[in-house]
């Protein structure tokens, strides 16, 4: 059953109200039983640590209506583990994996009519968000937390869809400090990227490529996504404390190895940009966005890939992962949870 009032094939990547979200509170040392609600607002103390000290982390995942009509959610356990890692680093209460996965299952089922039909290219985006609600004036962790999971149907993250995007290097801003919070999915990392993203958009670039904050010699991340490249039969992706462990990238590395590519997760030098056959960014929102070109305003250099078309390996990896997510191919790794 789907909501036929929506134009599924022309959805943007934005917020559309659905029927329910689900919430669990951490109070007196324990998590409450999750409750569904239609309320889109949150009331909390003006001294809540989320507002003052950045005690906030979130996740992004998707549910898909498969070729068989069944609803599948991608790698729930990995999102649960990553949220726990974020919570641990920010000294928030860590939601149990079982609580997280139960809340995701419940809220997707409750909003089943908003899961886009198979074949439309759209999906149901799932946003778990955890934040400190307890009041605290000193710089200390809160005693109370709220975990919310809400959903919204979405289309492509970039208006270009799977077509290559233009990327600009930003040397004037950093999204995360070398030993800071880049390795967790904290909201502050994304707040730190808004200025450079806006500057990039004003110049006509949908995404910004960040170099390492310490030396500006190595590739860090591509906007809000991981960077990867293909060269000489190798899948190459940066390894750094400042790079978020992308669940999509983790999955692509597994598929790349199975397809015969040698996977290298390591420090990637700026000087390698001119040697790659293909480049791309990857994450939950877009899966893979092929990169057509990377422009460096400092020296005027442009690194172009595959004549502005999606590279063959980007295409193979993209379609392989999408086929698994939509139930078109066997899920040999047990990545999909069928509801």
Query: How far apart are alpha carbons 153 and 179 in whole angstroms?
Result: 35
3-state secondary structure of 98: helix
Contact 62, 323 (CB under 8 A): no
- Of 62, 70, 159, 185, the active-site residue reads 185
Task: Determine whether 185 is an active site residue.
Answer: yes
* Cβ atoms 147, 138 nearer than 8 A: no
Instruction: Please return the burial class of 159, using the count of CB atoms within 10 Å of its CB with bins 0-12, 13-18 and 19+.
Output: exposed
CA contacts within 13 A on the Cβ side of 245: 11
Q: Tell me the three state secondary structure of residue 312.
A: helix
Residue 145, token pair as written in the block: 């937390």
CB 298 within 8 Å of CB 309: no
DSSP E strand boundaries for the chain: 21-27, 30-31, 35-37, 56-58, 61-65, 71-74, 123-132, 145-154, 165-170, 207-211, 219-222, 226-231, 234-238, 262-266, 278-283, 287-296, 301-304, 336-338
For the four alpha carbons of 12, 74, 55 and 172, in that order, the dihedral sign comes to negative
Helices (H), the chain: 49-52, 76-89, 97-110, 187-191, 194-202, 247-258, 312-325
Residues assigned a catalytic role: 185
């Amino acid at each position: 059953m789907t909501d036929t009032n929506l134009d599924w094939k022309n959805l943007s990547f934005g917020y559309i109200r659905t029927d329910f979200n689900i919430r669990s509170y951490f109070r007196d040392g324990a998590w409450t039983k999750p409750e569904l609600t239609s309320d889109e607002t949150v009331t909390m103390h003006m001294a809540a640590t989320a507002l003052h000290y950045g005690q906030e982390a979130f996740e992004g995942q998707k549910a898909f209506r498969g070729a068989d009509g069944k609803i599948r959610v991608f790698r729930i356990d990995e999102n649960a583990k990553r949220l726990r890692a974020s919570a641990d680093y920010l000294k928030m209460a860590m939601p149990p994996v079982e609580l997280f996965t139960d809340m995701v299952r419940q809220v997707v089922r409750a909003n089943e009519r908003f899961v886009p039909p198979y074949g439309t290219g759209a999906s149901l985006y799932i946003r778990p968000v955890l934040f400190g609600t307890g009041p605290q004036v000193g710089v200390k962790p809160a005693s109370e937390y709220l975990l919310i999971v809400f959903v919204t149907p979405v289309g492509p993250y970039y208006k270009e869809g799977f077509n290559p995007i233009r990327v600009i290097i930003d040397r004037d801003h950093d999204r995360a400090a070398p030993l800071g919070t880049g390795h967790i999915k904290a909201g502050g990392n994304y707040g730190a990227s808004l200025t450079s993203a806006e500057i990039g958009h004003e110049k006509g670039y949908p995404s910004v490529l960040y170099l390492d904050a310490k030396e500006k010699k190595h590739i860090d991340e591509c906007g809000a996504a991981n960077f990867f490249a293909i060269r000489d039969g190798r899948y190459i992706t940066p390894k750094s404390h400042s790079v978020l462990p992308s669940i999509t990238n983790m999955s692509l590395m597994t598929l790349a190895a199975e397809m015969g590519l040698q996977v290298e997760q390591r420090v990637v030098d700026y000087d390698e940009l001119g040697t790659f056959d293909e480049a791309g960014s990857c994450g939950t929102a877009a899966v893979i966005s092929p990169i057509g070109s990377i422009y460096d305003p400092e020296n005027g250099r442009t690194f172009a890939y595959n004549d502005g078309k999606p590279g063959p390996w980007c295409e193979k990896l993209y379609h392989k992962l999408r086929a698994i997510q939509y139930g078109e191919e066997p899920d040999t790794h047990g990545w999909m949870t069928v509801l």
